[in-house]
Structure 1
């Protein structure tokens, strides 16, 4: 008994054709049917991939919390741990509080200190959270 690749069972090769003793016309007819179904299989795989991506996006977006900041809100800003004064795991996680000066598109926020001096660079909304004194 000889080993046969699984793909050869579905789309027979000349070796399988010789073993089965299938007529050449019958083989050509089956091959033509299989070639016609390739486009349908590709479309089905593409549809399945798109449905999977939509399902994953829906599952991810269900856990995302939308945070909206209004001008005048108090927020602490997350500290980047690249400062030379870093004390390792004992350093502060947040800095502030700051006042929201302006909200820009796609979650960017311009902050100012409590005394009113405005920071030049906008901050991503992921790096801040609401402060409740």
Structure 2
């Protein structure tokens, strides 16, 4: 037993032994080592070419998918005075499945070029939010009061 095997409990094969066995196998099969080396280099070159072609195809695919995705993005432009809803992204546990993640409506007071929007709530408090967390409010504005007159006929 070797000292390595005594300490670790398994046999250690050195790279010299493996190389010697490979040369012995080549001599036994009467193969020419230069031909095998050339064949192996050709295989490595083919694998490199295959990898480069795959890389080019993946970049083309990514570009096409980006164009497709960007084509379907809706441009959202807001002007001061618009009513919007704000997405609430805070993680809260056990609030219920049917509760809406959108809060509001809020009034837009100022639009910045950086993508930030200054919002105002019912109480007059102002805060800033990212334009990606906002969508247009399609409901009836609170300032407009709709009065319906209902007449009931007595029988």
TM-score scaled to structure 2, two decimals? 0.52
Q: Supply the distance in 2 between the matched residues of 1:21 and 1:42 (Cα, whole angstroms).
A: 33
Distance 1:89 1:44, change over 3 A: closer
Q: CA RMSD in A?
A: 3.6
Q: Which residue of 1 aligns with 2:144?
A: none
Q: Which residue of 1 aligns with 2:115?
A: 107
- Structure 1's unaligned 5+ residue stretches are 1-13
Q: Which has the higher contact order (CA 8 A, sep 6+)?
A: 1
Distance 1:22 1:70, change over 3 A: farther
The runs of at least 4 consecutive aligned structure 1 residues that moved more than 6 Å come to none
Aligned residues, how many?
116
Q: Which residue of 2 aligns with 1:4?
A: none
Q: Which residue of 2 aligns with 1:11?
A: none
TM-score scaled to structure 1, two decimals? 0.58
2:62 aligned with 1:53, yes or no?
yes
Deviations 1:6-34 (A, max 9, x none): xxxxxxxx6xx78x865433322222323
Q: Supply the distance in 1 between the matched residues of 2:130 and 2:100 (Cα, whole angstroms).
A: 19
Q: Supply the distance in 2 between the matched residues of 1:67 and 1:50 (Cα, whole angstroms).
A: 29
DSSP-derived class of the 2:136 partner: coil
- Structure 2's unaligned 5+ residue stretches are 1-21, 141-155
Q: Supply the distance in 1 between the matched residues of 2:115 and 2:121 (Cα, whole angstroms).
A: 19
2:30 aligned with 1:24, yes or no?
no
Q: Supply the distance in 1 between the matched residues of 2:133 and 2:55 (Cα, whole angstroms).
A: 37
Deviations 1:41-97 (A, max 9, x none): 3322221221232233233333322211122222122345768xx973564554332
Distance 1:42 1:91, change over 3 A: closer
Report deviation, 1:99. 1.5
User: After superposition, where does 1:1-133 map in structure 2 within 5 Å?
Assistant: 22-79=31-88, 88-89=96-97, 91=99, 93-105=101-113, 107-114=115-122, 116-119=124-127, 122-132=128-138, 133=140
Distance 1:117 1:38, change over 3 A: same
